[in-house]
Structure 1
């Protein structure tokens, strides 16, 4: 089986969609050949990364965070004709354009629907006809939670071709834990933890407002465009002594933090947060979670009152109450953490995720 994965970027770029692509490529069954078509600024036009033959089209400009690569649709057609199946990772308008106008000589394509176009609503409206045509021509649409279908303005119409395939991780592959170098030696043992990119939809301003309502120590691990703004807000609120903006961490440091923290907090305020893979990492470590209802997929992964305490998105007071509850009641925190690990091992293993995806790929090829 020759599979072409299409998206705007690939490694060494970071991001959740890219991580999923890489997981599927590196864990593909024997006999699967993987190719990638992405965009570039300065990266090589072609290189081999792991098991992937990576091709990139020059994108000299960007518009609303979307790379403009004029040759992308033409390269897509040429590469797709040499493959058995296209795995189209969405949202990415150039990939959707190529899928929407695919002719009968093209192989079938499977849409990996990672999220909606949220921030650029005007762009989303303009792309409406393209998105509908793209989904009409898809052989199958993969989503990570049932909530994707329920809240999407597009997927309800194509419910019959949607498949719920949750992401998964392998706890046995966790990196050896190592204490972060930037963590002060005297940092308290019972602390809350945020891990993720420092971007608006993560709800970090709400988290800092919640932190100001408590006396809880909190570690924020991650990097992103809001780092300077958050650092200033921590100082303005007088939180420097107990809220640490740690910066980016590697896998070893992240695993140490997950093992040492009392709880993970995911204070998301935007529907861009559709799953929260970091929730799985916390569940693997036996860590309870404080999450929000920003997207139904979040609470489907870690459920309110079982593996998590779910609060209303944007509710700083509710967030503070939930965090305080898990710090003050260690028994409750441990019970929820164990429930999370049990749920992970039942439903969110890496082997199950990869196996389900390739079962769908095979069914599509069989029926095409």
Structure 2
């Protein structure tokens, strides 16, 4: 074992290469770190088989912790209280926060002696991502004289003004009192005990209390795997513009606003739109396309396997994504990696990933302002699309240089090294 490679115990309760969202983030980051450090991953037993299928060796590369005695009933409770698949994420996080301490209790029971004995240079909790879920491990690890790294933490982006109806349709009742987590003494102990806090968004970084800002760094939550996004958009400007939306068909993602914004150009035959994804709004969106007389110019693909999503997206000039409450925005990076120019609302995750050089930022506002912003930007591009290839090349270069999982892991390992070097002074 090379002394130049830090020995890391990576806590990733949610980590799975075969799933999406938080589990895929947890897996992708932990796996990328393995290529640059001596990492042993600790995950929940539900991920065990996927780890084995990915080629990892149990006991050597990872340990699966069986916390199902608490996790299973908590999952059932969250499914009941969220009142609909894909809704009530604040409720899901709150219920997870109740069951998570048992997982960390079992982690400490299994690895506490090894941590105290100095078998790891540091402990890094990768998931949960939510900053509301406290860690009982943090003070124990710190007391053992081992640095505890936390993050990327992300979540809790406020709902923009004018979208209360969408908030209610998402069953986000608990979001009104989300800030109460700051009163939890365990949360303060976690932040106090952490040697490094990685914030996955600027909003989350701003929520870290002032006494801990000096050990907080901003590093976007999401990244991409170049092997999974290996096509390149041709940016064909000879025909009508082609725009693409990829995501769950739910109110806060804004697909209804996109239809309204694009309708004049679609009716005129100057733009076609692909919508990839499914969700509770699917039927209403198809009916809305009919009422706007644009059904012939809109293709609803439904849910597609990953390789087919890439094929559809890579045919587009633009990734049009009017989501008004996106924590990370991984799909935006995926589009950029394919050379598809993103057009996003300048708010939360996507607004932190896109610049004027790599895409189009539409000012956040109430629904009519966002619709008009997208409509104006799309009209300008239909009139003169020649800026698209330049932005597409810049977007692809940025994604492949700054936003791969390997690049992200390299930055984190550099943080490890600085942290460990400072402790030796």
Which residue in the other structure is 1:203 paired with? 254
Which residue in the other structure is 1:112 paired with? 151
Aligned counterpart for 1:284 among listed residues 326, 329, 337: 337
Alpha-carbon spacing, 1:141–1:223, altered in 2? closer, same or farther (3 Å): farther
CA–CA separation in structure 2 for the residues paired with 1:88 and 1:129? 23
Aligned counterpart for 1:138 among listed residues 191, 194, 202: 194
- Answer yes or no: is the 8 Å Cα contact 2:244–2:274 preserved in 1: yes
Aligned counterpart for 1:257 among listed residues 312, 316, 321: 312
| Secondary structure of residue in 2 paired with 1:286 | coil
Give, in angstroms, the shift of residue 158 of structure 1. 2.5
State the Cα RMSD in Å: 3.3
Which residue in the other structure is 2:92 paired with? 65
Which residue in the other structure is 2:354 paired with? 302
Q: Deviations over 1:96-151 (max 9, x none)?
A: 242465461384321213422355324522211333332222111113455543xx
Q: Which has the larger radius of gyration?
A: 2
**1:190 to 2:241 alignment:** yes
**1:25 to 2:30 alignment:** yes
CA–CA separation in structure 2 for the residues paired with 1:172 and 1:337? 19
In the TM superposition, 1:53-202 aligns within 5 A as 53-58=63-68, 59=71, 60-61=73-74, 62-63=77-78, 64-66=91-93, 67=96, 68-69=98-99, 71-81=102-112, 82=114, 84=120, 85-92=123-130, 96-99=134-137, 102=140, 104-105=143-144, 107-118=146-157, 119=172, 120-130=174-184, 131-144=187-200, 146=202, 148-149=204-205, 152-154=206-208, 157-166=211-220, 167-171=222-226, 174-175=229-230, 190-202=241-253
| Secondary structure of residue in 2 paired with 1:198 | coil
CA–CA separation in structure 1 for the residues paired with 2:124 and 2:207? 24
CA–CA separation in structure 2 for the residues paired with 1:240 and 1:308? 27
Which residue in the other structure is 1:183 paired with? none
| Secondary structure of residue in 2 paired with 1:260 | coil
- Answer yes or no: is the 8 Å Cα contact 1:91–1:117 preserved in 2: no
Alpha-carbon spacing, 1:285–1:89, altered in 2? closer, same or farther (3 Å): same
Which residue in the other structure is 2:273 paired with? 218
CA–CA separation in structure 1 for the residues paired with 2:227 and 2:16? 26
Q: Deviations over 1:300-348 (max 9, x none)?
A: 32213x2212112341111122123333423121122122223334433
- Answer yes or no: is the 8 Å Cα contact 1:8–1:39 preserved in 2: no
CA–CA separation in structure 2 for the residues paired with 1:132 and 1:260? 48
Give, in angstroms, the shift of residue 291 of structure 1. 0.9
Q: How many residues align?
A: 350
CA–CA separation in structure 1 for the residues paired with 2:284 and 2:386? 36
Give, in angstroms, the shift of residue 217 of structure 1. 1.8
Which residue in the other structure is 1:181 paired with? none
Give, in angstroms, the shift of residue 261 of structure 1. 0.5
Q: Deviations over 1:156-176 (max 9, x none)?
A: 553211223345435465356
CA–CA separation in structure 1 for the residues paired with 2:130 and 2:397? 35
Alpha-carbon spacing, 1:86–1:225, altered in 2? closer, same or farther (3 Å): farther
Alpha-carbon spacing, 1:113–1:340, altered in 2? closer, same or farther (3 Å): same
| Secondary structure of residue in 1 paired with 2:265 | coil
Give, in angstroms, the shift of residue 213 of structure 1. 4.3
CA–CA separation in structure 2 for the residues paired with 1:134 and 1:49? 34
- Answer yes or no: is the 8 Å Cα contact 1:143–1:162 preserved in 2: yes
Gapped regions of structure 1 (runs ≥ 5): 178-187
Q: Normalised by the size of structure 2, how large is the TM-score?
A: 0.70
- Answer yes or no: is the 8 Å Cα contact 2:17–2:51 preserved in 1: no
Which residue in the other structure is 2:394 paired with? 339
- Answer yes or no: is the 8 Å Cα contact 1:175–1:252 preserved in 2: no
Gapped regions of structure 2 (runs ≥ 5): 1-6, 57-61, 79-90, 158-171, 233-238
| Secondary structure of residue in 2 paired with 1:217 | strand
CA–CA separation in structure 1 for the residues paired with 2:194 and 2:108? 15
CA–CA separation in structure 1 for the residues paired with 2:131 and 2:340? 37
Alpha-carbon spacing, 1:161–1:200, altered in 2? closer, same or farther (3 Å): farther
CA–CA separation in structure 1 for the residues paired with 2:110 and 2:64? 11
| Secondary structure of residue in 1 paired with 2:20 | coil
Give, in angstroms, the shift of residue 242 of structure 1. 2.0
